[in-house]
Each structure stands twice: as C-alpha cells, then as structure tokens.
Structure 1
C-alpha cells in the first residue's frame, strides 16, 4: 500500500495494530502506533483502546496506564470500554486498590459503569478473596439501576463457593431463578464444583439432574468436576458409571478426565485398574501429564510393589 498507494489511514493502522495485539506481538503494535503518529496520523479512541487491551492481556499494565495518560494528554477522553479494559487488567495483576480507584475516577469523569464494568471488578474481588466487598459492589450496582446478569451471578456464586459460603451460593442461584434469569452450564458447573469441594456429593449429583431436566446439557468440564468429586470421596464405582454416562451422551473424555480417574484409582488402592486406565488414555492418543507420572511413581511405592 505504502509503495504503490493508496496511503494507509487510521483505520488501516488500527486494524493492523489489532491483529498484532491478538497474535501477541505487542512490541510491534506499539512501534506501529508510533510510526502512524510520525506519519502525521492522529490515533483515535479505538486505536488507543485496541493497544491498551493488548497491553493488559499481555500483563503490561504499567505501559497500558502510561498509554492512557498519553491519550488524555492528546485530548482523547477514555470511554466505558477502555476503563473496563484497564480495570480488568488491574484485577488480573492483583492491583485491586488501583482497580477500585479507577472505577471512582471513571464515575467522577461522568462515565457510568455498565454491567460488564461492575462484573469485571466483582470477579477481581472474588478471585482475591474479597467476597464481602464483591457483595457490597453488587448492591451498589443494583442501586444504580444495573440489574446483574447471568455472568455477574455466576461470578459471585463462584466467589461464594471458593469462600466456603455454599449455602449463600445456593441461595443466590435460587434468587437468580426467581428473578427470571436462567442459569447456564457454567453457573451450574460452578455450583456443582463448590458442592463437591464442600463434600456435599448427593446435592452435587442432584444439581446435575436438575441441570439436565432444565435442558442444560452438562459438558466435559461438568462431568470432570463431578467425577473428581466422586473420586475424592472414594466413590470410584459411581465415578466410573458417570464416565460411561458421559461417553454414552457423546462426550469424549479428555486428559483431565483420565488423570482424575487414574489418581482416584491409585488412591483407592486399585493399582491395576489405574494402569488399565492409563493404557486407554494412551490408546486414545493422549499424552500422560506430570500428575499421572507422579502418581504412577508414588502409587507402587505406597503399596509396596
């Protein structure tokens, strides 16, 4: 284009910057932005947002913040999408105080956070164990007229489960349904995982049946979650039955499924069955992972063979 014409414009440069960011070539994307500016083209909000998103996803939060300041100095006001992108990056890098500060800055600048913005910060708070603050933010969000969606509720259910508040997670699921929000596969799988980790295997199995009866077909992650719970509670026969049910439904077990079962069988003292499962894993074209090898080494030693 440059050698033969037409001359690239802002859209051309932004498109290529977006492609470079998506392929992880952040340095090249940054260099292209500078080349674009040197050519006399003024980067717009979309260009800056594209590169800020790329920098956040690659963990270069400081550079993303610097670029935001550069953008401000050029007279470009960040929009809701850009603020949300940077809040997400700060949450993922563990800078929760800065993420909360940025939310306040955003509001003070006249930009009303949307459901995605609130959900992003709620997710960050949950992942860093700040469940109470996440619940407070949910109430603020609702008071501002933003009704939480399935994603927001699922995030909070996950946080409550990880914080050991299984009853509150179940209550939230019930509230979600009564408000007319239909939980999705991720929501159900999240609560099943919480119930399994809390040792409530019967309730976890019940939820699997409820999920199926509501028309939400469990996926491989759901099956793996419940199989893992059954193995850890010593219910190897039921775990095996669920494996067959999973295959019957047309879902192919993956490396995670086989790893869970091999470890479960070894821990239950069923060494030969674990070896058989390993052969099935290899025959399916899967490569055993480190956990399987560690189990294979440790299992015979524990059993004295």
Structure 2
C-alpha cells in the first residue's frame, strides 16, 4: 500500500496509512517504509524521514534495517548534517549483524566526509571497511581521490589510484577526470595531457567533462590556441561541447583580447543549438568593456534581456566598471539604479568604483 501511494505521488495518503497503522497497533516491515523514506528525502523533507526511522518505526515494532538507515544517511548527507550522519553510522556498526553498514553505506559517509574536508576521518572509515570485511569499490576510491585533489594533494591522490589498481579495482572515467582536474588546478597541464593519453590507451573514452576540464586548464594558463584544438578534437570525437566548455573558451579568448574570435565562437555555439547563458553574456560584455567597446557591450546587454536572460551582479558590475572607466558616470549610475530596482545588491567593486 505504502509503495503504491508513493508511486502515485500521494505522500499525504501514505502518511494517512502510516497513521492508521500506528493507531491500530499494526506492525509493518522495515522494507515497507523504504518507499516513503526515499520520497521524503527526494523532497528534502529529511527531518520527517529521520522522525520515522528514529521514532515512529520502533513504536510500530518495525525495527529500522540496513536500507532504512542508508536511505536516511544519504538524505542527511544531502543536507550536510555530517554529525548526525556519523552518529547513525556508528550506531549501525555497533549493532552489527543485519545492521552492519555495507559498501553503499560506507561510500555515502566517506563521500560526505571528503566533501566537508574531513579526509583523516574519511580514510579512517576506509581502513575500517577492511576490518569489517567490506571491500572498497571504485566509488570508494574516487571519493578519496576527489578529496585529496581538492586539497591539492595530487601525489597522494595518485598513490590512492595506484593502490586502487593493486586491489583489482579499475579506474573509471570519473577517476581520470578527477585526477586531470586536480592536475589542471595545480597548473600541471602537461601531466594532465599525459594522463589523458594514458586514459585513452587503456580503453577509457574521455567524455565532455574530461575535455572541458583540459580546456579550462589551458585557458587559465593562457594557451588559447591549444585549448581551441582540444575543443575541435572533442567535436571530432563525437563529444558535443556543452555551454560550460564554450563559456570557458570564450572567456579565455576575451582575456586575450581576441574579441572577434570570441564572437565567432559564440555564433558557432548558437548554430549548434547551445543556448548562451548568463555566464556567456557576462563574459562577452566583460571582454567588450575591457576593449573599450562600451556601446557594443550595452547592445549585448539589451540583447541578453530581450532573449529572456536576466543579468546578474557580475553582468551589471562589469558594465558599470566599463562605463566609469569611459567617464560615462551618469549612465553608470542609471545602470546601478536599474540593478538595484531588480533586487540585486551592489558588490564591493561597485561600491568602491562609484564616483
């Protein structure tokens, strides 16, 4: 009954049925509660899900099982409630038996720990997995590698990748993408390209994220020509660049004052059915302002609004800065007033730049 209520998107009916069970003193199996727990967590109603697992299920004589706890832990992770996640996890581990955390539970908690920067604790759980007889999988290693890469500890991340292979777990596209991203952020573009070649030689097909990451790394190093080649290679391999990839290269071109090339790329992007977003327009406006093409920047702003793309603080800030530098202070103030009228708060740059 509970499952069908959830499938029909009738959570209120599911709760009514749950209330009836409580009133009648009926028992319900833990697996019966899983659909409603998943539905609550998907709707971000984590508190209600926690109340069911911790309070209502025991009252019904329905002891939460491994799946009940894992669903709740995933929900709590989505809310960033790390403290309660760990409490529930160790409660499961303490009970043991049918409550013993499985690889999915461990992966969920390890990923949450690395996201909040608690890498020591994440590796502690990784070691505990072996003691509990739970074998880490590719997802486990990817989480640890991601945590290390975010901290810039690429050597340690590589060691984890080698350990992963030694344990018989094959790196997947996510593993390679994470390491390539880490190397690019450290400015190690040549090593990132080597890893890309290694990835291909091992039969792992790079995806849009792989190419976009490398394009971003090259653009940040000012190697726009190489970044453009990566974009063309990406297309030749049948990987259609997304808006993020185009935005990255357009931004790199604008920073190099290659405004015409940026414009051409924007037209190419549109021709391929990719709709420019706020970042695309803001980047182009910034490039035009830096080149002193204020009139063209204003036209682009009007075009952006006409196409239903609402300018953000960055868009307005860029144009106001360009107008001030051009000496068009009255117009800069009008743009500022327009920005405020739309409920956008001026940032520090605008405040300092105002006459």
Aligned to 1:2: 93
Runs ≥4 in structure 1, deviation > 3 angstroms? none
Q: Of the candidates 201, 210, 223, which is equivalent to residue 316 of structure 2?
A: 223
Q: How far, CA to CA, are the matches of 1:98 and 1:124 in structure 2?
A: 11
* Aligned pairs (5 A) from 1:1-305: 1-5=92-96, 6-261=99-354, 265=355
Q: 1:210 & 1:77 partners in 2: Cα distance?
A: 49
The Cα shift of 1:199 comes to 1.5
Question: What's the offset of the Cα at 1:259?
Answer: 2.7
Pick 1 or 2: higher relative contact order, CA cutoff 8 A, min separation 6: 1
In 2, Cα distance between the equivalents of 1:43 and 1:259? 52
Q: Give the Å deviation of 1:175.
A: 1.6
Counterpart residue number, 1:287:
none
Please report how far the alpha carbon of residue 19 of structure 1 lies from its aligned counterpart in structure 2 after TM superposition.
1.2
What is the root-mean-square deviation in Å for CA atoms of aligned residues? 1.3
Report the Cα distance in structure 1 between the residues aligned to 2:156 and 2:328, rounded to whole angstroms.
50
Aligned residues: 262
> In structure 2, do the counterparts of structure 1 residues 192 and 16 end up closer, same or farther at CA, with 3 Å as the change threshold?
same
In the alignment, the residues of structure 2 paired with residue 75 and residue 233 of structure 1 have an alpha-carbon distance, to the nearest angstrom, of 62
Once the 2 structures are TM-superposed, how far is the Cα of residue 11 of structure 1 from its aligned partner? 1.6
Deviation at 1:236, TM superposition (A): 1.7
CA drift of 1:75 comes to: 1.2
Q: Deviation of residue 28 (structure 1)?
A: 1.7
TM-score (norm 2): 0.71
Q: Could you list the runs of 5+ residues in structure 1 that have no partner in the other structure?
A: 266-305
Residues of 1 paired with 2:154 and 2:298: CA distance? Answer: 42
Shift of 1:142: 1.0
| Cα drift, residue 248 of structure 1 | 1.7
Partner of 1:268: none
SS in structure 2 opposite 1:217? coil
SS of residue in 2 equivalent to 1:2:
helix
Q: Distance in 2 between matches of 1:260 and 1:50?
A: 43
SS at match of 1:3: helix
> In 2, distance between residues paired with 1:134 and 1:221?
25
Residue in structure 2 matched with residue 303 of structure 1 by the alignment = none
Which has the larger Rg? Answer: 2
1:300 counterpart residue number: none
How far is 1:168 from its partner?
A: 0.3
Q: Match of 1:250, SS?
A: coil
Q: Distance in 1 between matches of 2:119 and 2:228?
A: 35
Q: CA deviation at 1:178?
A: 2.2
TM-score in terms of structure 1 length: 0.83
SS in 2 for 1:50: helix
Distance 1:222 1:239 in 2: 13
SS in 1 for 2:239: coil
After superposition, the C-alpha distances for 1:187-213 in whole angstroms (9 at most, x for unaligned) are 110111111112111111111011111
